[in-house]
Chains A and B, each alone.
Chain A
Amino acid sequence: MLHICFGEMENANYGPDWFKVNYDPKWLKDPFVQKIIKDVDKSEYVDGLIINSPVLGPIPPERLSGGAQTLIMIYEKPELIFDATSCGENCAKILHEIGMQKDVTINLNYLMKFDDVESLKVYIKNEERVITDMEDYIMTAVKYV
Chain B
Amino acid sequence: MTGSYHIVVVNATSKYELDIKRNITILKGDSATGKTVLVDMIRDYVSNGPDSGIMLSCDIPCRVIDGNTWEEQLSPINNSIVFIDEGNRFVSSEEFAHYVREGKNYYVIVTREKLSNLPYSVTEIYGIRGSGKYNDMVPVYHETYHIYEEYIRNLQAGECITPDVILTEDSNAGYDFFNTIAHNNSGNIECRAAGGKSNIYGSVIHAHDHSVLIIADGAAFGAEMERICELIHSGADLHLFLPESFEWLILNSGVIKDISKDEMEHAENYADSEKFFSWERYFTHLLTQNTIGTPMAYSKTRLNDYYRSSNITKRILATVQGIDFHYESRV
Contacts and interface: CB of A to CB of B under 8 A. Distances in A.
Contacts of B111: 85
Given A55-B134, A66-B87, A85-B113, A42 B230 contact: no
Nearest to A71: B31
A42 B112 contact: no
B288 to A, nearest CB: 36
Contact of A42 (B32, B36, B226): B32
Given A55-B140, A56-B14, A56-B134, A91 B31 contact: yes
Interface string A125-145: 000000000010011001001
A57 B227 CA distance: 37
Given A110-B226, A111-B226, A138-B234, A41 B32 contact: yes
A110 B30 CA distance: 12
Given A55-B130, A65-B31, A86 B114 contact: no
Contact of B133 (A40, A54, A109): A54
Nearest to A63: B37
A111 B28 CA distance: 12
B270 interface: no
Contact of A145 (B34, B86, B114, B130): B114
A14 B230 CA distance: 26
Most buried by A among B37, B135, B140, B227: B227
A139 B37 CA distance: 33
A41 B133 CA distance: 13
Contacts of B112: 85, 88, 109-110
Interface in A10-62: 14, 16-17, 40-42, 53-57
A66 B13 contact: no
Nearest to B86: A86
B116 to A, nearest CB: 11
Contact of A68 (B32, B34, B135, B234): B32
B29 interface: yes
Contacts, number: 79
Nearest to A37: B32
Interface string B116-144: 00000000000000100111000010000
Interface residues of A, number: 32
Contact of B230 (A53, A54, A55, A111): A111
A16 B87 contact: yes
Nearest to A54: B133
Most buried by B among A55, A111, A145: A55
Nearest to B12: A57
A75 to B, nearest CB: 15
A21 to B, nearest CB: 14
9 contacts: A16-B36, A16-B87, A41-B32, A57-B135, A88-B30, A90-B30, A90-B31, A90-B32, A142-B230
Given A57-B135, A88-B29, 18 more contacts: A14-B87, A16-B36, A54-B134, A55-B14, A56-B37, A65-B36, A66-B86, A67-B31, A68-B31, A85-B112, A88-B112, A89-B30, A110-B113, A111-B226, A111-B230, A138-B230, A142-B201, A145-B113
